[in-house]
């Protein structure tokens, strides 16, 4: 029997973890309950992706626009984030996870900023999965920051006349990471919500109606299976690949 070929796995998965609030509401529970369960699912997915030896995972945890939610909900999310990082630092270290963030983390409460810095430091030498949390992240903001750095000559050692694609990439929060190969969005919304607009240029998109608190390893496997069947042509024709 011919051995089953290893399906092509993405090197970088990005996930828009959406639907926490609606999931809770449908069960007659407060939105907080959805976020609480959402964090558990995030942890399960981090473990699953690490076990698959996929090197990069970016999770959209809090957008720039999410600051406009009721204060109570924002506070809840910040509290959960702080708690998660504090209590999972050791586990990340043990599992070889390197923790990083993208987004305007200066806007986060100071206690959260501190635990972020600590988690990054503790896990800096992780050799397995790089886990990237998008926090207070907005893609337009990220691109505008890069452009403004150039306009105000804040990029050391440069005086740009013409900018190359890789030079702009190097000014983005994601400069140390490859572009995502696969984007997953849960909850049946078909939009990007200002997530990684530059980096997703050639990413395979996968949408599912499943709400994030119900997303399981089986759902991840389904997304990966679908991904393995896609033909990524990057503008070429099949015969050239
Ligand atoms: C995603 O779930 C989590 C965050 C945006 C922080 P939502 O909170 O957006 O849940 P829905 O979309 O309202 O159901
Ligand atoms: C996107 O979800 C942001 C995160 C998942 C963190 P939202 O629920 O905020 O997106 P919109 O506002 O419905 O587009
Ligand atoms: Mg939502």
- Among 49, 53, 16, 58, CA closest to 176: 58
Determine the atom of ligand 1 nearest the C-alpha atom of 66. 5
Q: pTM higher than 0.85 for the full model?
A: yes
Please name the helix (run of DSSP H) or strand (run of DSSP E) that holds residue 13, with its range, or none: strand 12-16
What CA–CA distance (Å, rounded) separates 142 from 172? 6
Q: Give residue 159's pLDDT.
A: 74
Name the residue with the closest Cα to ligand 2, atom 9: 66
Ligand 2 midpoint to CA 64 (Å): 10
What topology is assigned to 12-138+179-227 in CATH?
Undecaprenyl pyrophosphate synthetase (3.40.1180)
Tens digit of pLDDT for each residue in 121-143? 999 999 999 999 999 999 999 99
Distance CA 83, CA 86 (A): 5
Where along the chain do its domains lie? Answer: 12-138+179-227
- What average pLDDT does the segment 181-186 reach? 98
DSSP 66: G
In the reported structure, the alpha carbon of residue 188 is separated from the centroid of ligand 3 by a whole-number distance in angstroms of 10
Tell me which of 5 and 165 has the higher pLDDT: 165
Token pair recorded at residue 127: 């050799």
**Ligand with minimal distance to 25 CA:** 1
């Amino acid at each position: 029997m011919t051995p089953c070929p290893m399906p092509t796995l993405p090197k970088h998965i990005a996930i828009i973890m959406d639907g926490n609030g609606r999931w809770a509401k449908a069960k007659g529970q407060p939105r907080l309950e959805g976020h609480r369960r959402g964090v558990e699912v995030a942890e399960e997915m981090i473990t699953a992706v690490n076990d698959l030896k996929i090197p990069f995972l970016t999770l959209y945890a809090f957008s720039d626009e999410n600051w406009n939610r009721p204060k109570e909900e924002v506070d809840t999310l910040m509290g959960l984030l702080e708690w998660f990082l504090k209590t999972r630092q050791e586990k990340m270290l043990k599992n070889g996870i390197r923790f990083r963030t993208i987004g305007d983390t200066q806007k986060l409460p100071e206690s959260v900023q501190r635990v972020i810095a600590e988690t990054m430091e503790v896990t800096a030498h992780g050799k397995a999965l790089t886990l990237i949390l998008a926090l207070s992240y907005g893609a337009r903001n990220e691109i505008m920051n890069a452009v403004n750095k150039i306009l105000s000559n804040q990029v050391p050692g440069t005086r740009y006349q013409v900018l190359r694609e890789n030079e702009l990439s190097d000014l983005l929060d994601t400069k140390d990471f490859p572009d995502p190969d696969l984007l997953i969005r849960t909850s049946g919304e078909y939009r990007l919500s200002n997530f990684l607009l530059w980096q997703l240029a050639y990413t395979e998109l996968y949408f599912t109606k499943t709400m994030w608190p119900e997303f399981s390893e089986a759902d991840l496997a389904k997304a990966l299976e679908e991904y393995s069947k896609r033909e990524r042509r990057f503008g070429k024709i099949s015969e050239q690949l």
